[in-house]
Amino acid sequence: MIENNIEALITEFDGELNSILNYWATHTIDEENGGFLGALDNDNNVIKNAPKGAVLNARILWSFAAGYNFNKDDKYLSLAERSFEYLKNHFIDQEMGGVFWSVDYLGNPLDTKKQIYAISFAIYGLAEYYKASKNEEALAIAKSLFNDIEKHSFDAINGGYLEALTRDWKEIGDLRLSDKDANEKKTMNTHLHILEAYTNLYRCWPDANLKSKIVILLAVFDEHILNQSTKHLVLFFDEKWNTNYNIVSYGHDIEASWLMLEAAEVVGDEKLIHRFEKLAVEIANASTEGIDSTGAMIYEFEVDKNHQILEKHWWVQAEAMVGFLNAYQLSKDESLLNHFLAIWHFTKKHIIDHKKGEWFWGVNEDFSLMQGEDKAGFWKCPYHNSRACMEVVNRLKKLN
């Protein structure tokens, strides 16, 4: 079945990638204050004087650089350069290292805490930009940020990385990424994106110490973060890896399934590759618990309350498509391929804004749009969906 549709699917995902990147090129450039706008609502209205987040700007950098690396469109390289200059001049803490969590609409430091998640995305974007531009300054900054994480966040006693610190790298009371998160010293989410960032940096800088850190991170996932009986990820921990939380995040499960394998492949460790190929399929199968009758993937399951959060978020569908297609490539299990196809069908019908561009944040159980969410903003970025398009096209070409 898939063999007859591969070319059509490649065309669809290729077109959607261009649509996403063109949306960000058209609607999000801040002509008045530099860089990119802080937020737009669902109707593409600019949210005036919105702060600018490090995560948004690092992901914009990654997306345009990756878009250029994917199809060599010079427009994307130019926008990646714009993003790099803004990140370098406004988010990098030249005095104390790391990156600011946010700046105001004028580009002045706003929240100066050192959230390791944000520093990781800066590394991820800078490494991708270096691949596109061969700008040595970008690689130098990425290496410096890697050293900042290792110096200040790495837990030499218990392993893993501490979640956040003050601007001058001291302990901080509130470690949370957002008010949705538990205030704990270590999280699955930050470890996943450190792994992702280090993997991309290693492609540009095959340093032995960096490689060892990737291998150690994979062991952390295998030993602490992945529940070996359920094949779901544990989300929050204290510094000694104790947890009191029993929440399943299906999107993170399926995202981790392919990112962990990618890391093993990039460092070229055959034993790890074999291990994480097996886990990728097992985690994908476990995450099918989050597929409901619509064919899409729901947001979360609160196990102790037996409560499903039935919202369908844009990023969850994007990661699920990559994860299920990856698991199909490994297993040739047609049911996993069918999940990929069903989620793409749902995404086209309910998530993509065919009139005004980009993807909606998500829909509720009754398919109504989730209210109060951005089309572009602090967390609503072009990275999950643009990356999904590129990953899917590359994987479909291999199947072909």
CATH architecture of 2-399: Alpha/alpha barrel (1.50)
The pLDDT assigned to 335 comes to: 98
> Mean of the pLDDT values across residues 169-197?
96
pLDDT above 90 (res 3): no
- Indicate the pLDDT class of residue 4, thresholds 50, 70 and 90: confident
Check if the beta carbon of residue 197 is closer than 8 Å to that of residue 127.
yes
The pLDDT assigned to 2 comes to: 74
Q: 339-376 pLDDT, tens per residue?
A: 999 999 999 999 999 999 999 999 999 999 999 999 99
Q: Give the end-to-end CA distance of the chain in Å, rounded to a whole number.
A: 12
- Indicate the pLDDT class of residue 321, thresholds 50, 70 and 90: very high
pLDDT above 70 (res 1): no
pLDDT above 90 (res 49): yes
The pLDDT assigned to 343 comes to: 98
DSSP state of 289: G
Q: Which residues are within 8 A (CB) of 68 and not within 5 positions of it... i.e. 6 or more apart?
A: 74, 76, 77, 80, 132
What single letter denotes the amino acid at residue 250? Answer: Y
Residue 135 exposed, middle or buried by CB count within 10 Å (0-12, 13-18, 19+): middle
The closest of 84, 79, 98 to 127, measured between CA atoms, is 84
Residues 321, 326: Cα–Cα separation, whole Å: 8
The helix or strand, by DSSP H or E, that contains position 201, with its residue range, turns out to be helix 188-204
pLDDT above 80 (res 251): yes
pLDDT above 70 (res 206): yes
pTM of full prediction above 0.75: yes
The pLDDT assigned to 400 comes to: 86
Q: Which residue has the tokens 């070996």?
A: 228
